[in-house]
């Protein structure tokens, strides 16, 4: 599944991201990785949401129904750029993360066939990666793990390789779109809090908002469905062919087929 030419998605790199992220990847002619922005201590870049242990009851809707899986960092500073962060290899985090995921998902119907064969070599390789920039390599690697099985062939580009002009978020994204000759910027709804659509309009770049509706699926516990968990949770519970169908283009915007009989 190749994205639509001329469509740009710009996202910070994430660790074993959620299925909504892959829906953006499926749309993107270019997936622009924002590696040249400051990291957020409480952000999602170095951590992901996974299921609660089987012996923990699902909490009420007022409490989180997940736990975080976080990559330890080596002496991070508040103003450090994502692309400069180093993983703390003094901690056996990779082995612990793999063990945690096996414990959480080992009994789920598709973990052994769709997920574990990809996770084992990944964690074996990242455990040896160290130094500045190692977090970015881990994040990109964790995302790419599932591209082939999901039928995705994204054109991935680091924002640090483009010319950066200005510090205002929207203006910088518009400049990236101009350099990439994009006609459409496909954005998650979270960006609606700051994105200045008028700047894109002035540059003749259309802004489309993500409309992905997360299908519920059996997660192996009683109680409410917990949305926004890692792709590991999804592919441990749902056949990959079904997840591929979730990511197929929706009939709207520039992704719709050309009308017939007109």
What value does the mean pLDDT take over residues 72-100?
91
pLDDT digits (tens, 9 = 90+) for 130-156: 888 899 999 999 999 999 999 999 999
Q: Which two structure tokens, joined as six digits, stand for 151?
A: 């039928």
Which helix (H) or strand (E) is 185 found in, with range? Answer: strand 184-187
pLDDT digits (tens, 9 = 90+) for 215-230: 999 999 888 899 999 9
pLDDT level of residue 181 (50, 70, 90 thresholds): very high
Is the pLDDT at 257 greater than 60? The verdict is no
- Smallest CA-to-CA distance from 15 within 30, 210, 36, 40 is with 40
Spatial neighbors of 104 by CB under 8 A, at least 6 apart, are 50, 51, 53, 54
In the predicted structure, residue 63 carries a pLDDT above the cut 60: yes
At residue 260, the pLDDT reads 42
Q: What is the pTM of this model?
A: 0.90
Average pLDDT for residues 61-86, to the nearest whole number?
A: 90
pLDDT of 185-206, one tens digit each? Answer: 999 888 877 899 999 999 999 9
Q: Give the model's pLDDT for residue 214.
A: 86
Q: Which of 11-20, 110-119, 209-218 has the lowest mean pLDDT?
A: 209-218
Distance CA 14, CA 48 (A): 8
The average pLDDT across 69-88 equals 90
Q: Is the pLDDT of residue 262 over 50?
A: no
Dist. CA 177–CA 170, nearest whole Å = 11
Evaluate if residue 60 carries a pLDDT over 60. Answer: yes
Which H helix or E strand runs over 116?
Answer: helix 116-126
Share of the chain above pLDDT 90, in %: 70
104-126: average pLDDT: 97
Which three-class secondary structure state does DSSP give residue 198? helix
Tokens of 87: 């993983």
What is the C-alpha to C-alpha distance for residues 79 and 21, in angstroms, rounded to an integer?
25
Whether the CB-CB separation of 254 and 184 falls below 8 Å is answered with yes
pLDDT mean across residues, the chain: 90
d(Cα 46, Cα 43) in Å, to the nearest integer?
A: 8
pLDDT value for 2: 62
DSSP 171: H
**Confidence bin at 251 (pLDDT 50/70/90):** low
Pairing of strands 4-11, 184-187: parallel
């Amino acid at each position: 599944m190749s994205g639509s030419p001329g469509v740009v998605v710009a996202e910070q790199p994430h660790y074993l991201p959620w299925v909504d992220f892959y829906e953006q990847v499926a749309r993107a002619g270019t997936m622009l990785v924002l590696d040249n922005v400051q990291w957020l201590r409480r952000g999602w870049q170095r951590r992901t949401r996974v299921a609660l242990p089987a012996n923990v009851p699902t909490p009420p809707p007022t409490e989180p129904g997940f736990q975080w899986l976080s990559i330890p960092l080596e002496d991070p500073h508040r103003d450090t750029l994502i692309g400069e962060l180093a993983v703390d290899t003094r901690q056996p985090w990779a082995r612990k993360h793999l063990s945690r995921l096996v414990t959480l998902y080992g009994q789920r119907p598709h973990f052994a066939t769709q997920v574990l064969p990809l996770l084992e070599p990944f964690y074996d390789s990242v455990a040896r990666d160290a130094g500045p920039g190692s977090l970015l390599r881990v994040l990109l690697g964790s995302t790419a793990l599932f591209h082939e099985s999901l039928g995705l062939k994204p054109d991935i580009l680091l924002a640090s390789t483009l010319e950066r002009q200005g510090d205002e978020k929207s203006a910088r994204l518009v400049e990236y779109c101009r350099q990439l000759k994009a006609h459409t910027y496909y954005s998650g709804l979270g960006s609606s809090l700051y994105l200045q659509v008028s700047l894109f309009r002035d540059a003749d770049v259309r802004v489309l908002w993500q409309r992905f509706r997360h299908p519920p699926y059996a997660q192996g516990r009683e109680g409410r469905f917990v949305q926004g968990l890692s792709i590991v949770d999804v592919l441990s519970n749902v056949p990959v062919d079904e997840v591929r169908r979730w990511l197929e283009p929706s009939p709207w915007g520039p992704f719709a087929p050309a009308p017939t009989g007109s």
